[in-house]
Structure formats: C-alpha cells, structure tokens
Structure 1
Amino acid sequence: MIEARSSHPSPGFESIRRYRNAAGQQIVKLLPGDYYVTRQDEILDTVLGSCVSACIRNPRLGIGGMNHFMLPRPSGSGNDTWDNVAGRATRYGSASMEQLINRILSVGGRRADLEVKIFGGGRVLSSLTDVGTHNVAFVRDYLCQEGLRVTSEDVGSTSPRHVQYFPLSGRARVRHLNSRHGVGVASKEQRYLHGLEKAPVAGEIDLF
C-alpha cells in the first residue's frame, strides 16, 4: 500500500483519509461517522462489524457515495434500554443517510434514479447486544419510507466485512473476515458507541 495522499479530494471531504495503492488506484477509507460522495474514479473502502454502510449512486449522472454509521446500543443500565435510546439512534442514522442522499441529489437528477446497496449489520461477538440487527432494520425501514429500492445487500450473519464500492460502475466487492478480526472490529465499535451516546444530536436535515 502506498500512503501518498491524493491531491484532489472532493470538495467538503478534505478530512477523509485517501491514498493510492500499489496499483495506482485511489482508495478512500471511511470510518464510523463518515460519508463520502464523488464523481471521480475512486474506490470507497470500509470495514463493518455491526455498523451499516449504504452505497448510493445516480448512474445517469455518474455520481455516488457511501456512508458508515452505527446506532447507539443499550448501556446495560436499568433505565437505558434500546427503546429509551432509539430516538437518539434513529436521528443519528437519519442524519447519515440524509447527508449522503442530499449530497448526491445536489448535482441534480431525480430520487427515482438512485441505486442503493446496503452492507453490514453483523453480530460480530455473541456477548454483545445485537446492534447489527437494529441497524439493518433501521436502514431498510428508512429506505422504504423514502421510496428508495435496495438493489443488492449483504447484511447480518456473524462475521465482519471488508467492503469496497466503485461508485462510477456501481460494483461492490465484499469479503467476509474471520473471527479473529471480529474481536478488533467490535472493540473499535464499542469505543465509538460510548462517544456517540454522549454526543449531542444534530438537528434534522431536510431532504431534496
């Protein structure tokens, strides 16, 4: 892997890590809480445990992107059940989806033109609350309510996933990782969740 940073990030995404691999391909690395939209020939790359990524593009206009989000999980205290945190959870998920969709629609086109694929939502450690199932249910319901059809998905199961998305062609490459990766992915997601549950929730974002 070559760590040289690309010199032409898409406007507004300068903080996202980007580099060229040994084959000269431009890789965009998404972490939890990120989203990215491009019209360039780039590979959007992420690793998912219980998190979910939606990959959305407008094939007619040649623009597409990916997000990577995780909803809060119950802390285990008697007063902090999934139902109690669901408001914070769905608002965060909605913000991630809306930012991705809005950015793609901002260049024009119709919502009916959008092609959607979803990935992730695994239960990577049996000892953890099954956040992945809630994430998958959320994103399916969200897309249904917004009138967007899922054309392909790889969700659930017990293994983490390495996902690469090619927004210009719409192709996605998914590799299921073995159990030893699951421990590391779950640990990183737990740290992210603790910060997410304490952070204030941003206001609602209007859709085009």
Structure 2
Amino acid sequence: MQGQVYVGSGAPEILTTVLGSCIACCLYDPIARVGGMNHFLLAEPTPGSGTVADQNYGIFLMELLINQMMTRGGVKSRMKAHIYGGGNMHAGMTRIGDANARFALSFLADEGIPVARQDVGGDSARRVDFDPILGRTRCRHVEKYTAPAPKPITQPTMSGGELELF
C-alpha cells in the first residue's frame, strides 16, 4: 500500500502493488536472497514547508527499505533495484510522476545501488508483482478505460392520483 515498506519474510511470496504517479522501488540482494518493496506518493517535502519526512515521502521510505533489508542480512553494496511507476496520470496537471521517478533514480545513484530494471513515466497506471527472494518482477500497464457518456434519466410522467404526506 501507499506509504508502506515490506521486506520479504524469507518464505516464498509475491509482493504486489498498483501505481499511478507513485513510485515502487523493489530492492534485492541476490546473495542473501532478501528483498523488499516500498510505495511512495511524493519524493520529499517542499523546502521551507515545515513538513517532516514521513511515510508519504520517498526520502523516508527509501532509507527505511534499505535499513530493513540490512537487518535481514542484506548488504547495501550487493543490492540491486527495480523502479516502477511515476506515471503522469492527468494531462495539464503538475508532472508529479516525473519528479518522483527523477528522485528515485537520483537517490539510488547517490547510494551506489544500480538499477537493474525500470519502467517509469508515461500516462498509464501499472501493476507490479515482485518476488523478494529471487528479485524477479513483472510490471503490467493497466489499460485506460473511457467511462461511457452519462445517459439522462427520464422520469415517467404521472397523470392523476393524489399524494398524501404523513
């Protein structure tokens, strides 16, 4: 879910999330066979906003993911990343998805963690499945469906009869 970090339990499992402008970073250590995923809404608080980094921000969730993996035996120098999401879902609005993707890629470069796979940007949502033991991912774009045009509801005309209110 948005604002969460999960590191695999060591048992076979698949982590899944759905993304729009959010980013999911899937990290894994192929030697320790440990991996995890985060899902963040925004890159980092706006400078001067007075907001402290929390679970909505990548700056917090990226550090948390790395630290939790290290407590489960992961070694930062062996970690590899997959980055997904960052779609710009609404034309004409701020391109939050692009900013989120730039942040994630920059953060990983600064930490020395190589990006093995990425699927970011565009204007569609994504569903991501991640195997934290093997470090395998599957990313599927969610088709955009256009809602049908609303049809006016017509009320039948009533003739005659009386209405009694209680």
- Shorter-chain TM-score: which interval? 0.7 to 0.9
Q: Does 1:48 align with 2:13?
A: no
Which residue of the partner structure matches residue 141 of structure 1?
106
In structure 2, stretches of 5+ residues that fail to align are: 147-166
Quote the residue 1:61 is aligned against: 32
Structure 1 residues 101 and 63: CA distance shift in structure 2, 3 A: same
- 1:35 matched to which residue of 2? 5
Cα distance change of structure 1 residues 73 and 168 upon mapping to structure 2, 3 Å threshold: closer
- Does the 8 Å contact 1:90/1:138 carry over to 2? no
Aligned to 2:97: 132
Shift of 1:99: 0.8
Which residue of the partner structure matches residue 167 of structure 1?
Answer: 132
By how many angstroms is 1:106 displaced? 1.0
- Assess, with a 3 A threshold, how the Cα gap between structure 1 residues 86 and 170 changes in structure 2: closer, same or farther: farther
Distance 1:85 1:122 in 2: 25
Percent of paired sites with the same residue: 39
Cα 1:83–1:48, aligned 2, differ >3 Å: closer, same or farther?
Answer: same
Q: Secondary structure of 2:40's match? A: coil
Residue pairs, 1:88-103, within 5 angstroms: 92-103=57-68
Give the AA of the match of 2:2. P
Instruction: Give the Å deviation of 1:60.
Output: 0.9
SS at match of 1:126: coil
Q: Which protein shows a greater Rg?
A: 2
1:112-137: per-residue Cα shift (whole Å, max 9, x none)? 11111100000011143110011011
Once residues 109 and 58 of structure 1 are traced to their aligned partners in structure 2, the CA distance between those partners, rounded to angstroms, is 6
Show structure 1 runs of 4+ deviating over 3 A: 82-91
Structure 1 length as normaliser, TM-score? 0.63
Residue 86 and residue 129 in structure 1: after superposition, are their counterparts in 2 closer, same or farther (change >3 A)? farther
User: 1: distance between equivalents of 2:17 and 2:131?
Assistant: 12
Q: Calculate the TM-score normalised by the size of structure 2.
A: 0.77
CA contact (8 A) 1:51 1:68 kept: yes
Higher relative contact order (CA 8 A, sep 6+): 2
User: Does the C-alpha gap of structure 1 residues 85 and 177 become closer, same or farther in structure 2, counting only changes over 3 Å?
Assistant: farther
Which residues in structure 2 correspond to 1:104-119 (within 5 Å)? Answer: 104-119=69-84
Q: Is the 8 A contact 1:47 1:162 kept in 2?
A: yes
Q: Could you tell me how far apart the structure 2 residues matched to 1:72 and 1:142 are?
A: 10
Q: CA deviation at 1:179?
A: 1.9
| Counterpart among 137, 141, 145 of residue 176 in structure 1 | 141
Q: Distance in 1 between matches of 2:97 and 2:139?
A: 17
Name the aligned partner's letter for residue 44 of structure 1: L
SS in 2 for 1:138: helix
Q: Distance in 2 between matches of 1:86 and 1:177?
A: 36
